[in-house]
Amino acid sequence: MAAVEYIVIVVAVVVVLGAALAAFLIPRRRRGEVAAPPPRPGVDYQPGVGDDATAPVEAPRTPIRDVELPEAPLAPVEPEAPALERPEPAAGRLVRLRSRLARSQSGFGKGLLSLLSRERLDDETWEEIEDTLLTADLGVTPTQELVERLRTRARVEGIQDPDAARTLLREELLALVDPSLDRALRTDRHLEDGRPAVVLVVGVNGTGKTTTVGKLARVLVAEDRDVVLGAADTFRAAAADQLTTWGDRVGVVTVRGPEGGDPASVAFDAVKAGIEQEVDVVLVDTAGRLQTKVGLMDELGKVKRVIEKHGPVDEVLLVLDATTGQNGLVQARVFGEVVDVTGIVLTKLDGTAKGGIVVAVQRELGVPVKLVGLGEGPDDLAPFDAEAFVDGILG
């Protein structure tokens, strides 16, 4: 009996120890965890030789390492072309800029009106009027003519009030500026042979000549004209760069040559390019570095002759700095003897310039002022309008 009890106790101990050992060796699933299904031969793994097709043999795993891949070369990014500017229409520019002109010329106009509005116009008053006109760069002969006409009309018609004085002065100044002059730019393409109009721009350095060419290109682009620029001022690299920049802003091609090259050759190539591209106008900027009349004669004469191998030059515009006064008249006289000037461009008329220079330079060359610059903005070059100009002077 004792032996049987002993065996039972030993078996019970073995069972308990076996259960404890199984609990320790076999991990328990967490609550809610679903047992993974057994692997499927031929699907989850491919049995190899010696496999019993019941359990996969796990292949040794190669540790994953960071691999530096060679960088692929980046495709070059083409810079975006700058948006072309659309210049504002030239029509009415001088009217819009009249207030600016009035600010710079108000002393001249108001001074004359104050003198003419005096109750008694004696000889001393007329001398003051004459001095005012002379200091406005009107010139001796035009001043004497204007004073004589004012005296005659004042004596015959009388001046009752400031409004009458203003009307009288406006009429006489307008007659002196001469609104009957043909101030149109000849920039129409030649219909008979399709050749573009050619505009030669001349003047000494420092007058704003190259800037004027760039601004004139904007005026023409605003009128839907196709333009080619010729950078024939080859002695200043900055001039060619400056002109190219002006052209790029409005989509206009600039023909240029090597620094120090032959200006006539560049001018010829510019006109040739204009013919081949069937543009409307070719604007040629020339050098103004030469100070002697002989040098100007040789260089400008050659440029003009070479251009005329393609056909006649339609316009020769002389650019003058309006602030130089009588010095500008000397320059006008020299250039007038060298080339056949057809029109005048007065720059910086909004500065310290005196309005009388318009009359004086027209009298000197016998050609009209066609364009005026009234500021530093890209669209501050305006076709000259005699009435708007006189009204700007009188304020």
CATH classification at residue 172: 1.20.120.140
Residue 379 has which token pair? 């669209």
**Measured between alpha carbons, how far is 19 from 29 in angstroms, rounded to an integer?**
17
Residue 29 has which token pair? 């699933």
Q: Residue 36 has what pLDDT?
A: 52
Contacts with 387 (C-beta within 8 Å, 6 or more apart), sequence order: 174, 179
Residue 105 has which token pair? 């010329």
Q: Which of 32-36, 40-44, 377-381 ranks highest by mean pLDDT? A: 377-381
The amino acid at residue 221 is V
| Domain final residue pick, 122, 145, 177 | 177
| Domain final residue pick, 145, 177, 209 | 177
The amino acid at residue 279 is V
Overall size of the chain counted in residues: 395
**Measured between alpha carbons, how far is 266 from 255 in angstroms, rounded to an integer?**
7
Per-residue pLDDT reduced to its tens digit, 79-114:
565 678 878 777 767 676 677 776 666 567 788 888
Residue 371 has which token pair? 């364009």
CB 232 within 8 A of CB 262: no
**Measured between alpha carbons, how far is 227 from 346 in angstroms, rounded to an integer?**
22
Residue 380 has which token pair? 């501050």
Residue 214 has pLDDT above 80, yes or no: yes
Q: Residue 357 has what pLDDT?
A: 87
Residue 58 has which token pair? 């796990």
Please indicate, yes or no, whether residues 124 and 169 belong to a single structural domain of this protein.
Answer: yes
In a domain, 46, yes or no: no
In a domain, 304, yes or no: yes
Domain count across the chain = 2
At which residue do the structure tokens 């009288």 appear? 168
Q: Residue 162 has what pLDDT?
A: 83
Please indicate, yes or no, whether residues 347 and 220 belong to a single structural domain of this protein.
Answer: yes
| Domain final residue pick, 177, 210, 243 | 177
Tell which wins on pLDDT, 33 or 280. 280
Please indicate, yes or no, whether residues 122 and 232 belong to a single structural domain of this protein.
Answer: no
CATH code of the domain in which 217 resides: 3.40.50.300
Give me the helices (H) in the chain, please: 2-25, 93-96, 98-116, 123-135, 140-157, 162-177, 209-222, 237-249, 263-276, 293-307, 326-338, 357-365, 386-394
Please indicate, yes or no, whether residues 167 and 278 belong to a single structural domain of this protein.
Answer: no
**Measured between alpha carbons, how far is 303 from 265 in angstroms, rounded to an integer?**
8
Per-residue pLDDT reduced to its tens digit, 331-346:
888 888 888 999 999 9
Residue 156 has which token pair? 């015959």
Q: What global pTM score does this model have?
A: 0.76
Q: In the sheet where 343-347 sits, what is the strand order?
A: 253-256, 227-231, 281-285, 197-202, 315-321, 343-347, 369-373, 381-383
Pairing mode of beta strands 227-231, 197-202? unpaired
Residue range of the domain that includes 152: 93-177
Please indicate, yes or no, whether residues 226 and 359 belong to a single structural domain of this protein.
Answer: yes
Class of residue 6 by CB neighbours under 10 A (exposed 0-12, middle 13-18, buried 19+): exposed
